[in-house]
Amino acid sequence: MNVNKVLTKDYENKTLSRSGKNKANTKPIQTQTNPIKANKMPKQTQFKAKQSQFQRQKNGGACCFVYTIRYDIPDMLTKDLAICIRALDYSETSQIVTLFIRATGKIKAIAKGSKRPKSAFDGPIEIFSCGKIVFSDSTKEKLATLTEFEQQPGFTHQSDNLFAFNCCLLGTELLSSLTNDYDPHPQLFDSFLQFLQNTNETRDALHASRDTLALLILFQLALLKEVGLQPILNACINCKNNFSTDWSEVYFSSLANGLICRDCEASFPDKIRLKKNAAGCLANLKRIAESNEKTLKEVEKILIHHFTNTLGRPPKMAKHISKS
């Protein structure tokens, strides 16, 4: 089974890249003989700048310890695009939000005063609020501070179509469960934004629920790919024979992470039998757009089964999709 290989490789890469970042952060602290208590964890970029200045002067024979210690270092502000994936009231006027940020990944931030009539957040922040943000960077140990949110209109009205709203909630739940904090996924961000936009646009279409289901399936497959769990859907994962509509029986094994042919199915006790149309959809994603709702429901059932196995529990929103 190659799932573990993919997973291990993926995590190894992430660990390596993180340790690189951490190293950059610890160096400046060592250079301070008497760090300022009020700002124990200064921000990376600014600290780097001060360090190089310090080193240049030190190399030139001058010492600037006093310079580094005397001034407080303001928080570094970062501008980026973000989508709110969770919003909780913190006080009468403030919220704690979980944001999926294009170049940063998932973070938690406090939005002080976001519920006030006049604020830098364009009103209270709701789930699926999307737009340009400014936030002060943080460490994993403490909340970031959101200072601005230029909310794009038209992203928070999906609640008037319950099925589309639930599909967006399921997509959000899966994204949140399968990504780590401060783990950037710019391509996944773009796919997620596209998914929310398209779902919003198809709500008045003739076959709105079919279209929405197709968008959800494509987003879920994009999510699996982006987090390194892409299933093999164009061939039998065991004997590598390419999928063909001539296969008399087709199965999907969540543990093996892909399709299984009839000759191999006996070795995979967790397999689920697929109807040919559903298997055809998975093997050729272009067919998803033209498939009927019944077929898409079967494909979604398989995916929910697969996410349940992957997460070790059923996604909370799954029951709202499968019963509709």
| 144 CB burial (10 A radius; 0-12, 13-18, 19+) | buried
Interface with Zn ion, residue 191, by CB under 5 A: no
Nearer to Zn ion, 45 or 241 (CB): 241
- Are the beta carbons of 1 and 255 closer than 8 angstroms? yes
Interface with Zn ion, residue 232, by CB under 5 A: no
Interface with Zn ion, residue 1, by CB under 5 A: no
As measured in angstroms, the least distance from the Cβ of 291 to Zn ion is 24
Interface with Zn ion, residue 161, by CB under 5 A: no
Nearer to Zn ion, 10 or 263 (CB): 263
Nearer to Zn ion, 127 or 259 (CB): 259
Question: Which pair of structure tokens corresponds to residue 150?
Answer: 């230029």
- Are the beta carbons of 164 and 208 closer than 8 angstroms? yes
As measured in angstroms, the least distance from the Cβ of 119 to Zn ion is 59
**Can you tell me which of 221, 227, 261, 318 binds Zn ion, judged by CB under 5 A?**
261
Helix H segments across the chain?
3-31, 44-59, 65-70, 162-178, 186-201, 208-226, 276-283, 293-311, 318-322
State how far the alpha carbon of 98 is from the alpha carbons of 105, 138, 143, in Å. Answer: 10, 13, 10
Buried b (16+ CB within 10 A) or exposed e, 13-48: eeeeeeeeeeeeeeebeeebeebeeeeeebbeeebe
* Helix count and strand count (H, E) for the chain: 9, 9
As measured in angstroms, the least distance from the Cβ of 248 to Zn ion is 12
By CB under 5 A, which span of 43-51, 60-68, 238-246, 286-294 interacts with Zn ion?
Answer: 238-246
| 116 CB burial (10 A radius; 0-12, 13-18, 19+) | middle
Interface with Zn ion, residue 253, by CB under 5 A: no
* Dist. CA 248–CA 265, nearest whole Å: 12
By CB under 5 A, which span of 129-137, 211-219, 236-244, 249-257 interacts with Zn ion?
Answer: 236-244
CA 189 to the chain's CA centroid:
7
Helix (H, G, I), strand (E, B) or coil at 192: helix
Interface with Zn ion, residue 256, by CB under 5 A: no
**Can you tell me which of 264, 274, 278, 304 binds Zn ion, judged by CB under 5 A?**
264
Nearer to Zn ion, 169 or 260 (CB): 260
As measured in angstroms, the least distance from the Cβ of 274 to Zn ion is 14
Interface with Zn ion, residue 236, by CB under 5 A: yes
Interface with Zn ion, residue 96, by CB under 5 A: no
**Can you tell me which of 1, 239, 289, 311 binds Zn ion, judged by CB under 5 A?**
239
By CB under 5 A, which span of 35-43, 115-123, 261-269, 293-301 interacts with Zn ion?
Answer: 261-269
Interface with Zn ion by CB under 5 A: which residues?
Answer: 236, 238-239, 261, 264
